[in-house]
Amino acid sequence: MKNKGILYAISIISLWLVALVYLLNYKIDFYNPLVYVFVLVQTHLYTGIFITAHDAIHGVVAPDNKKLNYWIGFLCATIFAYNNYEKLSRKHHLHHAHVVTENDPDYYNGNFFRWYLKFALEYVTVWQILFMAITYNILKLFFPMENLIVFWEIPAILSTLQLFYFGTYLPHRGEHAPTDKYKARSQKLNHFVAFMSCYFFGYHHEHHAYPYLPWWKLADAKEREATLINEV
Print the SS3 string covering the chain: CCCHHHHHHHHHHHHHHHHHHHHHCCCCCCCCHHHHHHHHHHHHHHHHHHHHHHHHHCCCCCCCCHHHHHHHHHHHHHHCCCCCHHHHHHHHHHHHHCCCCCCCCCCCCCCHHHHHHHHHHHHCCHHHHHHHHHHHHHHCCCCCHHHHHHHHHHHHHHHHHHHHHHHHHHHHCCCCCCCCCCCCCECCCCHHHHHHHHCCCCEHHHHHHCCCCCHHHHHHHHHHHHHHHHHC
pLDDT of 25-50, one tens digit each? Answer: 999 999 999 999 999 999 999 999 99
pLDDT at 229 over 90: no
Could you report the per-residue pLDDT of 148-171, keeping only the tens digit for each? 999 999 999 999 999 999 999 999
Give yes or no for a contact between 166 and 43, defined as CB atoms under 8 angstroms apart.
no
Mean pLDDT of 120-138: 88
In whole numbers, what is the pLDDT of the chain averaged over residues? 90
**pLDDT number for residue 26:** 92
- pLDDT of amino acid 122: 84
The radius of gyration of the chain from alpha carbons, rounded to an integer in Å, stands at 18
pLDDT for the residue numbered 231: 44
For residue 109, name the pLDDT band (cuts at 50, 70, 90): confident
What pLDDT, on a 0 to 100 scale, did the predictor assign at position 232?
42
Give 181's pLDDT tier (boundaries 50, 70, 90): confident
pLDDT computed for residue 179 by the predictor: 79
Predicted confidence (pLDDT) per residue in 56-78, tens digit: 999 999 998 999 999 999 999 99
Predicted confidence (pLDDT) per residue in 70-101, tens digit: 999 999 999 998 999 999 999 999 999 999 98
Q: How confident is the model at residue 218 (pLDDT cuts 50, 70, 90)?
A: very high
Among candidate residues 183, 195, 197, the one with its CA nearest the CA of residue 219: 195
Tell me if the pTM is above 0.75. yes
pLDDT for position 224 = 84
In DSSP terms, which residues pair with 186 in a beta bridge?
203
Per-residue pLDDT band at 228 (split at 50, 70, 90): low
Average pLDDT estimate for 1-24: 92
Q: What is the pLDDT of residue 226?
A: 65
Amino acid at site 111:
N
